Structure 1
Amino acid sequence: MTENGTPTPQPQPQIQPKMQVLAQFVRDMSFENILAQKGLNSGEVTPEMTVQVSLDARKRPVEGQYEVTAKFKVASNNKADGAALFLLELDYGGIFAIEGVPNDQIHPYLLIECPRMLFPFIRRIVFDVTRDGGFPPVNLDTVDFLALYRNELVRRAEAQKAQSPIV
């Protein structure tokens, strides 16, 4: 009660977001050991790595369920001449049940929080496949999915601005 006898308003409890990983799976994977195909001696190379990441999310027919796919492209080239050593392409998906996330926040949630949940499994697959392919295992650095999301928003805004006719 307040001093004037009116009841003290109680703060409304905030609904906490709830996420459940229903399934995760390799949608597509390809590993090309170009070094072995060319028959080069691995002592002749100094590897240089590039990693590209893209994300996709879509609503599933079941209410509150979403599918998120993280696509990783890991390439290794010889630093001296740029010759390709290996190429690993991995599309890794997860199906999530999500509750308590406002509609205006679901897009960033799907493209930031869901990939964070998938990333340790992706890292392990990349590690194992590169090792089993005859190379030193690649241990991916942690991906900043928030920065990736922000960069994509900026890229889309610039692309839309470039397409807009000047009045």
Structure 2
Amino acid sequence: MSRYGQLAIAESNIKSITDRIGDLLQVVSLSLGDFFSGTGVVVVEDDYDIPHQVMVDTPVQWFHDSTLKTLKSICTVYSPYHDGFHLLDAELNPIAFCTFLAPKIVGDATFLGALKKNDGSRAYTALFSSAMPGVICTATASRGEQVRLFVNGAEKTWPL
């Protein structure tokens, strides 16, 4: 059981999911190079409970293409869709793209210790979202920086 709620996904499966999402975002970031705009994703169970709002209609084709192909087209500085977080299921299939998240603010100073002094909205949203019911993990990637993963507020990074 996690500090902030029970996850139905076994711990060994969480490791597999976090490894896969870390690798996925690393590939997206490295393949786009200087054109990478950064991104955030939330991997959820079927019964997730995170308030969110899709900010813009997205192409239906994205739900049929691979997640890698779609994220590569979204996460470029030339894409009008690069804002917001993208919701994925435990198989890393898309649920929603370009969403505004409104997670509950939880935790204490220890929990917030996962953040760095100059972290912005994307990191705070990822941290707090990682503690919401039904959220397996969250991940962020910024141009030229490490991929950051959060599971119940604990952070893991993938160097670029």
TM-score normalised to structure 1 length:
0.24
Which of 1 and 2 has greater Rg? 1
Question: Larger relative CO (CA 8 A, sep 6+): 1 or 2?
Answer: 2
Greater strand fraction, Structure 1 or Structure 2: 1
TM-score normalised to structure 2 length:
0.25
